[in-house]
Amino acid sequence: MADKTLRVTQVKSPIAKNRDQLQTLKALGLGKIGRSVDQVDNPAVRGMIFKVKHLVEVEEL
């Protein structure tokens, strides 16, 4: 059985946010508004998404 995948899309800018939130976006592979990446659904990725949930949209694939 294949692992679930999440598509994470950045919808807001990290300007005027904490530096660790910018670094979390970079770790997810994001950095520009409108950019999307597919990530494996695991607790580590879920934790990163939770930290920047106000900057991204997530959909399950």
Q: What is the rounded distance in angstroms from the CA atom of residue 61 to the CA atom of residue 9?
A: 13
Residue 34: left (phi > 0), alpha (psi -120 to 50), or beta? Answer: left
Q: 58 φ, ψ to 5°? A: -125, 135
CATH number of 5-60: 3.30.1390.20
Q: Dump pLDDT digits (tens) for 28-57.
A: 999 999 999 999 999 999 999 999 999 999
Output the pTM of the full model: 0.87
- What does the pLDDT read at residue 56? 97
- What does the pLDDT read at residue 2? 58
The pLDDT-based confidence of 3 (bands split at 50, 70, 90) is confident
- What does the pLDDT read at residue 48? 96
Is 61 in contact with 41 (CB distance < 8 Å)? no
